[in-house]
Amino acid sequence: MTLRLRRHSFADDQPLMMAIVNRTPDSFFDKGATWAEQAAFDRVRLVVEQGAEIVDIGGIKAAPGEEIGVAEEKARVVDFVARVRSEFPGLVISVDTWRAEVGDAVCEAGADVLNDAWGGADPELVDVAAAHGAAIVCTHTGGVTPRTRPFRIEYDDVMAAVLADTQAYASRALEAGVARESIVIDPAHDFGKNTFHSLEVTRRISEMVDTGWPVLVSLSNKDFVGETLDVPVGERLLGTLAATSVCALAGARIYRVHQVLETRQTVDMVWSIAGRRRPAQAIRGIQ
């Protein structure tokens, strides 16, 4: 299925890199390296040069911390989205927010995608996406409250829960008027899940792909990687790429990442092995 992200369309044989750009002073990975506006803008320029098709701009870290209200979240992202839109007209701009009011403001400023990491906590977000012709990412979080950590959450079948919740969210978006080709589903590794849950979701990601909805995976430097390998945040790239390979072989379409170049090469190689992508060149044994 051709994927339409507001003003941008992508054929189904094209995996996409979604580069993370944090407008926060306390993100778990970059520790506030792109908190300053110019630093964040420089990050956008870099990932565009590296080939990212999408940037995902976020104004609140996912983990518990300082309370950030609507006004402060908007102050962190709205004008920045407008600046990026002006400078990079061909770039897909996603905003990581669960709030409809913020979603409306960033779409007015030029955002193409609303990346709801909190599983529909604000039910009006789908209406905002529909009103602006924007795309929406429908995640599974097990019903946890935004910015809280999961605690002893249990599932009879975690993938069954992921499939039920993300498809129900996708159906709500469709009923609200979001175009079918603009709806993406995401298992949301670590969100509402322990490490065993995230590993199982990764192992069974083909079940999400088989639904026909485009699948986004956000694996980059997640805790399930760190706990599995017993490595800190700064040493999780290899584990991230291993999990990425599994998802790429299954056919996930969008990869939300910190490290664009490494993930692009990993996904391109796996998609070529799977027969979905031609090699950049193939002259060995021919010339």
- So where are the chain's domains? 3-273
Tens-place pLDDT, residues 225-281: 999 999 999 999 999 999 999 999 999 999 999 999 999 999 999 999 999 999 999
CATH number at 3-273: 3.20.20.20
pLDDT at 136: 98
Which one from 204, 253, 256, 264 is the annotated catalytic residue? 256
Please give the average per-residue pLDDT across 20-29, as a whole number: 92
- Of the CA atoms within 13 Å of residue 69, those in its CB half-sphere come to 1
User: Is 61 among the catalytic positions?
Assistant: no
User: Is 147 among the catalytic positions?
Assistant: no
Which one from 6, 74, 147, 222 is the annotated catalytic residue? 222
- Residue 1: is its pLDDT beyond 90? no
pLDDT band at 287 (very low <50, low <70, confident <90, very high): confident
Tens-place pLDDT, residues 183-202: 999 999 999 999 999 999 99
DSSP three-state, residue 86? helix
What Rg, from alpha-carbon coordinates, does the chain have? 18
Contacts of 157 (CB under 8 A, 6+ apart): none
**C-alpha angle with apex 152: 151 to 155, nearest 5 degrees?**
120
